[in-house]
Structure 1
């Protein structure tokens, strides 16, 4: 495979490298711009001397990527100086999502960056409305935990740089339909198409077709999960699959009327219009650029190079929005397309399937999955085992739904009764798709959780794929791949020989506690697991959405022990949520003074999975990998005041010369009972989220911590208490998960090193 006949592939690679470098290095944009100018001048000089300037030009592309990446990632935002300040704005509303009791929408003030608004109560505005509102600006934060979701980057790539929560009385709708005529045309067209589906199809079917055709993403969570489990979630999106079908269908129609020679000027504007209606997702932009280049090449009698076309599309998108490189949709779309283009023929040649059509479908599916598996595992920590079969059976059926959906959308804008007939025809087909997806998703172990592999293994994997499709002889391919495997195994083996410290991560799970320990010998221990918030009907689950992804990121799908301080939901909820997804050797919990529903649920799951549960009390000592856990509470004397909190499991963890006191949610009564014990510790996990019901001065003085950690999130309880915070700051170095994100302690048993996710 000659790479020089695909110049935009090289440009895309070097541009991406520059953007990636800009994310991890501090860059002086002015200095880089000067260097870029000098390199371009040198390139021109080299070209005039009739010498090859390719390397210089690619270096210039990489530097250009660093400049635009640094500008997008690190430049000061318009709202940076307004954080936590009360402000008023007026602007145009878009992307409204209304739910029970609240609504989320994007506000675009004039000549300012977008703000994501959450409005509680009142009259909710609609897309295109001009509103005036008043609220407190908040800046979105990045990763709160290692391997966690970067909310700030997610919003920023969509042009949103601030958040605001407002009450209904703070919002005034000034004018309806205040957006531009062009925006109204696209918005009204999209709304009419969605209404057309909704008026003549069952809700789930209409939502599915709207998602596939328009990228609405209104599919119910359980249906979406079924598509994820079966490995076909890519069809619930506007993708190259849609554009390919639409282009082929329009070519077919033009051929009927014998005007195929005008395909480019007719089809390209329609594809662009469709892309604008869908909101310009990366997959759609890529597809329309590739389709346009193919149509233009065909109309002027030139050969189209699809690899060059997809690379050109990537360059265009990244030049306008370099942050899209970190978008999972962008990554999957481009890698899947390149994988099909590069791997389809080699895979097809290897398959021994007699039916040619089936062979083609299998080849496309396998080629795409070979390229995207590492990205899927790294991003979602999940792998569908059965995905090949649903892709072979369900995806061809989806193509019928897509064609009928397109026809219905187009005809519905002109003559809705005919569109209703098409929707009625489409409904049983959609029902079949949803039914088959559900059946496949219910197959045991259809999808498995997978720990994130080391990054070097992902690099080695892609190098091996490239070697497989290279022009090397079979024997040389075998030699190179064997060398890659040997190198991987050597790196893995050497990494196990390097001495490691004890690492303690106080996770940011919002209003709750969860701490993860990795011992020097690699044993994994979890202390509490946060819990699930019950507000606004949210489907957010601390266990599934924070704790499990973190454990898989840390390659800790197997836990050597879980310690549970007590059974309040903000400590045990996340554990109950993930117990079916991880292997657990044993569970330790304090002796129970009352068995509530959470404890009963714990015992049911533990008995089902045959996990031994040990109830601990004062005087017990647990030793795991040379680390001792001295149990200080509960004692034989039950504290009747707030019994679940005050009889919680409290223990002092000791690793060589370093000690940490874990206090659960104990209050003053329990602190008084512990005051005469050996509670002096280097690190204090502050009790009850810094509440004024705990952390008495005499207790803090007795612990005498060098470092204190308050695990707390947004709440209505006044936690942490300002006086408690003030006193802890006077006695120790204080960290808070609501401000610092996860707090990571690394110790060799003598020295302690602290890192925080936010601010470092």
Structure 2
């Protein structure tokens, strides 16, 4: 039996090895690999001609796992003994120095040695360096040294959140360091080599200069992105508009650019009567140089590797098979850095390419019509085919679905080829005569302006971008099985008369993926989110009621533009597989608790909002949004009960009715809702920012404070969590919601008080989100950072 396209099988085996060791670790991986090997040895005689393929596939499987394990140590483990400690780092700058308008700069440093505790260690890795007000003349390959503290990049600190450590590992970076200024840097010379990089940077900067001189600002920014992947020319609003219009793929250099490079040069070399061997070798060199010009843009690297494989096939007089070429490209990238598998761009790029190859022809047969021009029908078929492959990926990572992407792509994509080719002509002309480039630029400016116009119009159409809940991995798996069956498998199984059996298998599979999970009892889950120096807790009761207490936010007078609601809260809730929150609770009116709720209330479906009974200070925006969206607002005070479901209730312990509550009138923190969650035999105390005055009053009133978990008051401030209060609560666990701050939170007093009373302490700045689950008798606690 012959296996068609064996390299595809080897690539899949390699990927499975990476995924398995990422999920279970080294030792279980080795055990499973050994068991598979033993099974193969036992079946060796029965396998016949397949034994070679199976043996090679297993080799790729093991190689994928071991290379990933090695990469994990290299990118995330080799600095372990130095993270968080003052060290002297020596190395050379391995990138361009990026300067921002606010005087801050950053660059990649290739380390050569680290001096730690007066001992020198050879460490050859890459770290990101951030420095303020740099005025020293440094650039690519400058040899420098400095003393500082290398930070270990954090993994995802909230469920479904962005894994910064994995992202940096995917581009070969192990850590980051912040320096105050250029005075911290000592320059020791220039390192030789790096000529292709130097040439690439020089060409890139020359291209940017030519385009910026020849076009209007917005048009220049778009063309720079399309030609060489330079994104700094476009502002955040433009990126948002392209996202809503479903046109982000045209803003970056990609496989399309590689095709536009190969085809003209193929034509030119043919006219010059160069041999096929020489023409393909020169084209390969040009493609490699293009990679350096784009700064090793991931999308360009992927496309160039595939282009080189096709050209290499022509050199050896063999026409490459497309699936084999895709598999070879993926293998090369993953062998270089196995972390690339988790790069979103890698998944989108290969998903779209495979989808185009698999589905384009059949979709084209549906879109062909004598009333529709071929150009439009081709664009429509290509857009639909690519979208089929990437919809689950974009929903899984971004929760976005561009409803008018088909229309915008039909209008824009046919122009992209002309814009790109004219753009390259502008660049080559600009090297000879910049004024002639300006004249040619008038033509391209028209096309680019039309693209920007279509983008702006379609992005402003109501519901142009839908926010949808994150699909589960089971749903993604079933989706891909379904579309492959519809476009590829249906006719095959019909011809083989397997349709009836296949339908039964699909029904059983769907039941396993969705039915069994739905039938299993679910625990109550409480997630104390990492929102920096703020508070936020998401609760899902055993019967499915969803409650959000606070939403984090910026401290008063903070100059930060980071929107915690848009960037953290809304994506987190969508990642829970829902667009609806039954109850939103604002513990009190301080912005570090309420600001993130604004985006939740504006963008998601909210049933009821609960606030403390106060004069409304700090809650004005919340109330206004609720009024606009017709969301009911309920004010609560001590003695009230909030029934969440048949088994779960909130008891309100603070504040008193506002007119009689002198503490709340004097201090907004003391107006905080103090809520005791009761579910069967377990209890959790939520304290907002309430301090010792509120605690003393509650103690005097003799209220029952006993709880298994306490959300520690006011981020662990010394003005909260008195010894008598913690004794009355008797918590097994204490959770401090805290971020980097100048207040000394949490205070040593609070830490000592909790530990002396037998509570195990979890801090969100150290452990990320803290997830507590219970079926009603005890809590199981896990954290995002072990």
Judge same fold: TM > 0.5, yes or no: yes
Pick from 601, 610, 631 the counterpart of residue 579 of structure 1: 601
The yes-or-no answer on 1:78 pairing with 2:78 is yes
Bigger mean CA deviation after superposition, 310-319 or 400-409:
400-409
Q: 1:554 to 1:411 in 2, by over 3 A?
A: same
Match of 1:140 in 2: 153
Query: CA offsets per residue over residues 474-533 of structure 1, 9 Å max, x none?
Result: 586865367525642564233222211111000111111110001111111111111147
Distance 1:481 1:345, change over 3 A: farther
User: CA, structure 1 residues 17+215, in 2 after alignment: closer, same or farther (shift >3 Å)?
Assistant: same
What does the per-residue CA deviation read over 1:224-247, in whole Å, with 9 as the maximum and x for residues that have no partner?
Answer: 111111212112222111111222
Worse-superposed segment, 536-545 or 448-457: 536-545
Q: 1:705 aligns with which of 713, 728, 731?
A: 731
Give, in whole Å, the separation in 2 of the partners of 1:458 and 1:136: 42
Aligned residue for 1:265?
A: 281
Note the alpha carbon deviations across 1:188-242, whole angstroms, 9 max, x for none: 2222222222233333332222222222222211111111112121122221111
1:630 matched to 2:651: yes
> 2:492 aligns to what SS in structure 1?
coil
Offset at residue 668 of structure 1 (A): 2.2
1:105-155 alpha-carbon deviations (Å, 9 max, x no partner): 222222521111222334375444333322112111111111111111111
Tell me which residue corresponds to 1:522: 544
| Separation (CA, whole Å) in 1 of partners of 2:467 and 2:314 | 45
Q: Distance in 2 between matches of 1:509 and 1:443?
A: 33
Aligned to 2:364: 348
* C-alpha separation in 1, matches of 2:61 and 2:360: 30
How many residues align? The count is 755
Cα displacement (A) at 1:46: 8.9
Shift of residue 28 of structure 1?
A: 4.3
Report the counterpart of residue 602 of structure 1 in structure 2.
622
On the 8 A contact 2:773/2:779 being kept in 1, the answer is yes
Unmatched tracts of structure 2, length 5 or more: 113-122
Q: Say which SS state the counterpart of residue 174 (structure 2) adopts.
A: strand
SS at match of 2:635: strand
Partners in 2 of 1:304 and 1:538 — Cα distance? 52
In the TM superposition, residue 252 of structure 1 has moved relative to its aligned partner by: 3.3
In structure 1, distance between residues paired with 2:554 and 2:585: 18
Q: Deviations over 1:311-357 (max 9, x none)?
A: 11111111111110000101111111111111111212233533322
1:284-323 aligned within 5 A:
284-298=300-314, 301-323=317-339
Q: CA deviation at 1:253?
A: 3.3
User: 245, 261, 265: which is aligned to 1:230?
Assistant: 245
Change (3 A) 1:576 1:33: closer
Contact 2:474 2:513 (8 Å CA) reproduced: no
Rounded Cα–Cα distance in structure 2 between residues aligned with 1:589 and 1:534: 20
- CA deviation vs aligned residue, 1:93-114 (integer Å, no higher than 9, x gap): 3243333142232222225211
Aligned residue among 651, 664, 682 for 2:675: 651
The residue that corresponds to 2:262 in the other structure is: 247
Superposition TM-score, scaled by structure 2 size = 0.90
Deviation at 1:178, TM superposition (A): 4.7
Cα distance in 1 for residues equivalent to 2:35 and 2:440: 56
Is 1:386 aligned to 2:404, yes or no? yes
Segments of structure 1 that go 5 or more residues without pairing to the other structure are: none
CA drift of 1:303 comes to 2.6
| Match runs of 1:111-510 below 5 Å | 112-123=124-135, 125-168=138-181, 170-172=183-185, 174=187, 178=191, 180-182=193-195, 183-218=197-232, 219-259=234-274, 261=276, 262-298=278-314, 301-354=317-370, 355-468=373-486, 469-470=488-489, 471-474=491-494, 479=500, 480=502, 483-484=505-506, 487-488=509-510, 491-510=513-532
Are the counterparts in 2 of residues 591 and 617 from structure 1 also a CA contact under 8 Å?
A: yes
- Which whole-Å deviations, capped at 9, do the CAs of 1:461-481 have from their partners, x for residues lacking one? 212222231351558686536
Query: TM-score under structure 1 normalisation?
Result: 0.93
TM superposition shift of 1:401: 2.2
Tell which deviates more after alignment, 607-616 or 120-129. Answer: 120-129
For 1:36 and 1:297, the matched residues in 2 are separated by 38
Structure 1 residue 625, shift from structure 2 partner = 0.8
Q: SS of the counterpart of 2:755?
A: helix
Contact residue 201 and residue 295 of structure 2 kept, 8 A = no
| Structure-2 residue corresponding to 1:26 | 25
Which residue number corresponds to residue 115 of structure 2? none
Q: Take 1:179 and 1:368, find their aligned partners in 2: how far apart are those partners?
A: 44
What is aligned with 1:98? 99
Does the aligned pair in 2 maintain the 1:101–1:536 contact within 8 Å? no
Alpha-carbon distance between aligned partners in 2 of 1:632 and 1:362, rounded to the nearest angstrom? 60
